[in-house]
Amino acid sequence: MAPPQKAAVSVVMLLVFIGSLPGICYLLGLASIPGRPQPVDAVGWDRTACAVPAGDQRDVMDPWRYTIALWLPGSVQLSPVQRDAAAIAAGYLQDHPRTGMARWHLANAALTVWITRHWTVEQIVDAAGVGVPCQTRSTRSDRTG
């Protein structure tokens, strides 16, 4: 193989590796978390008073979008539901100590993405608002979905 071809292949391989880093970090972060949080049982709650969208809607994140939001502030706006998912993840991880701050942040980011992918919007809002009156929750942030 000629040197220019080797250089081109090396550049392509480097770009593929860099592009796959968020996915690799997501998998590593999930692997470091013992168990997963469970949604709260919110049977009988009046969600209309809390301005929670009805139905099985999703406000999904992926590792790449999360990375862009982290490294390029203002380019991707996290929704209130996604911020609630981050708060749920942080609360869950408080009971599971990490060996270092970098690992904790990696696990928190991975769990935030996991929650948005596996829970409904209603489950996220219910879990984030446990013990918080609806009037406080509805004025805390815009919950239009």
The phi, psi pair for 142, rounded to 5°, reads -75, 120
CA distances (Å), 124 to each of 13, 33, 54, 104, 110, in order? 38, 19, 13, 21, 16
Do residues 137 and 73 lie in contact, with contact meaning Cβ atoms separated by under 8 Å? no
CA distance 50 to 136: 9
Do residues 109 and 118 lie in contact, with contact meaning Cβ atoms separated by under 8 Å? no
Burial of 111 (0-12, 13-18, 19+ CB in 10 A): buried
CA distance 136 to 70: 28
**Dihedral of the CA atoms 89, 95, 99, 104 (nearest 10)?**
10
Tell me the pTM.
Answer: 0.76
User: What pLDDT is stored for residue 121 in this prediction?
Assistant: 87
User: What pLDDT is stored for residue 10 in this prediction?
Assistant: 96
User: What pLDDT is stored for residue 11 in this prediction?
Assistant: 96
pLDDT by 10s per residue, the chain, length 145: 899 999 999 999 999 999 999 999 999 999 999 889 998 876 555 555 555 554 445 678 899 988 888 888 777 777 888 889 999 999 999 887 767 888 999 999 999 999 999 998 888 888 887 655 454 444 444 444 4
